[in-house]
Structure 1
């Protein structure tokens, strides 16, 4: 800002101060302006080579292209931000009670008020992306028959399946063996966090319908979802979760904290920081979040953590060193509040033999413990909503494999369908056209199923059924 000369004299002309105090431009000459004190104007001059800007009320270089000479209309006062009537408020443990609601001030408290030594340490193995010949056997080899929980039931995982390049015969096989199938979007494209409800319905609800149609997964078993690339979709994603009958989400990441956070319901404000910048701020009763606690890789710098295990950098480390790190990372849960330990994986982890072998060694290491259980995401939530101490777990029905429903195995060999990709209702698809192959036991569709066309008819836009308890109108074309 350029300086101006001191007051020269009081003004005897007809200039009237618009306000009792302040600086004001002259209508006659841009080199001068008026400073009003107590309603009385004093003439001032800008320094040589500068003029008075009537918008910013300061002297600027005469060569400034943005200079506004003379009086300018005042900018309207900023509108007061109206409080969101649906905004989530801080946790109220008196009002928020199990089994329908759970929250705590910092997220560290154990549900049910149990002591840590009474709590089973839950581990959830989760897998994101397509299931196909590139990873099916690799994933299957993790769940060996001799790897069982302390109650004698086999360990199981949760698969967040995305559509493109998925083999639905193999998904149906995983489902028939007791693994949980969850929704991981149709295209797994980036940028979905900035889009509205229509886009989230097209990606997530369509994916649920595809899994039902072509892998035989019952709709009532598709309880959860995870947004692409761990980017929560603000209010839009969670409006869709609520409106279309999903129970839980596992998109939100908890940055490094001294103790991990427990799952919580979204009636109340999140108990931890959201670095993604796109977490929901409204209240969503009945929707649960199973947050991904960050894994620590290097605490010496801000980026030294990873939500997905394969995002951690293990360059130049051998199997023993990776195993040691996995155990230390796990013990941050096991030796503190025993919040569930999510081991989120993609195919990338298994591209390196050292990492694959270290994972197997870690699982075998944990098999010696009598208080560690490998469970699906929904099974973990069932414990959170109805906490059971370790000595009563043998009577905990949701974890009793002998009382579970297991679907029939898929057909011996699925039909391989050669299909055209015609994204009629999705303008954001980058790879329009071309051929896709899809294997299923349920018969080949007309075209490759895609956003808003779960059955692959290639004709009309789908209409999806809302949750009966939702107050929303169905969304259609």
Structure 2
């Protein structure tokens, strides 16, 4: 067995029986299998789960380490596209390969409750199966201890903003922001099919009240991204942000995960620079969203702080579903009092902003974080344009009353899977433009910049705010 430690990526390379160095033995939905380096598969079912739960989690072999990651509650893993998608479009059937003959590594379901969060690695001891290493997010805990409540006397813009507060500007003068963002790779399909007409050519003549085009943010990962399209989007005023290099983060259970976390988060800046040849684009990258909204303890926030990121937008708050008004972005000078998708930060990070994912409401009256995980009509695949428009408008009304920035967070692939979602969005934007003089379609970074020095929407129009 050969073990090799790298500075920025801790990996274990091994020879185990007939395995090739870098391969892994993992528990999959089709039994215990040997996966090649970077190969993925659906994870095995946990105790109490049924066949309908297949694909809720998936495993990835990376340099001899088995990583286990969950999909969103309403999504399933598809090994063909290597993404979490709607159950109807997902398949877990592996192409080729055979289960290993060694079944002694299987762990009884009764032992799963004692699992840890560390990845599977080789050692002189018997290697653990991936089932032993899975723990549900709901069992993770985080401390709510903080250095007292946020103090409005000392926590003031532009450097600090308290959880649950709103900018000191009359509601009637407050602009209504809609934050439009897209996760994952920028590919030819989504760019030429949707992004180009909507956000580059402005085919649909969508303008903010200042007379400048609407803006969007793109949280990108490296694989499958065409950086020519990234450069085109950035050149047209859209925000480019990090979504990690490989679309995964280490668990963050210990400081040993810090180097790889930095390499994943900050590494996207280098990838963008290499891909676009434009350092100005990479230098402006200041936002981050965790893959699958999986927050990884303080390690993730240590990496964001040390890499000089302006904000994170990974934490769900589902305020609407809980009957509370949605939240404005806030800084992490104080530990937040509520955080559903633990493990959240347990210490302050002064000056680092959080753009919370307040949650949207699906047609089934259940909360959802990203649009493409929401229930729309009777079936998201067959929802028509009218049902999509109703979904957009209904959620807009939740946010418009308190004038809190509304999230429209999704993936470009949503438009491919449900073309009416795109047509409805365009027409709804056009409707807002014709009926509201205070609605701005912007990026999270633009919202934060406004919060640092809030002005009325009338002043914004006069100053042509957001046109740079």
TM-score for both structures, normalised by structure 2: 0.63
Q: Secondary structure at the match of 2:266?
A: helix
Aligned to 1:387: 454
Q: CA RMSD in A?
A: 2.2
Aligned to 2:390: 324
Q: Secondary structure at the match of 1:357?
A: helix
Between the aligned partners of 2:143 and 2:368, the Cα distance in structure 1 is 33
Query: Structure 2: 5+ residue runs without aligned partners?
Result: 1-141
Change over 3 Å in CA distance of 1:280–1:84 after alignment to 2: closer
Q: Secondary structure at the match of 2:189?
A: coil
Change over 3 Å in CA distance of 1:206–1:299 after alignment to 2: same
- Contact persistence 1:192–1:200 (CA under 8 A): no
Number of aligned positions between the proteins: 310
Alignment pair present for 1:223 and 2:223: no
CA deviations 1:401-459 (Å, max 9, x no partner) are 2xx3xxxxxxxxxxxxxxxxxxxxxxxxxxxxxxxxxxxxxxxxxxxxxxxxxxxxxxx
Aligned to 2:262: 201
Shift of 1:84: 8.9
Q: Secondary structure at the match of 1:127?
A: strand
TM-score for both structures, normalised by structure 1: 0.62
Alignment pair present for 1:133 and 2:188: yes
Between the aligned partners of 1:381 and 1:275, the Cα distance in structure 2 is 23
Shift of 1:253: 1.0
Alignment pair present for 1:236 and 2:299: yes
Structure 1 or 2, whichever has the larger Rg, is: 1
- Contact persistence 2:223–2:246 (CA under 8 A): yes
Structure with greater helix share of residues = 2
Aligned to 2:156: 97
- Counterpart mapping for 1:349-360 below 5 A: 349-350=414-415, 351-360=417-426
Q: Secondary structure at the match of 1:141?
A: helix
Alignment pair present for 1:339 and 2:404: yes
- Counterpart mapping for 1:177-196 below 5 A: 177-189=236-248, 192=251, 194=253, 196=257
Q: Any runs of at least 4 consecutive aligned residues in structure 1 with deviations exceeding 6 A, and if so which?
A: 83-86
CA deviations 1:305-343 (Å, max 9, x no partner) are 1110000122143211220121010111111x2111110
- Contact persistence 1:192–1:233 (CA under 8 A): yes
Aligned to 1:153: 212
Between the aligned partners of 1:199 and 1:177, the Cα distance in structure 2 is 32
Shift of 1:358: 1.7
Q: Secondary structure at the match of 2:188?
A: coil
Between the aligned partners of 1:91 and 1:394, the Cα distance in structure 2 is 33
Between the aligned partners of 2:426 and 2:383, the Cα distance in structure 1 is 16
CA deviations 1:26-70 (Å, max 9, x no partner) are xxxxxxxxxxxxxxxxxxxxxxxxxxxxxxxxxxxxxxxxxxxxx
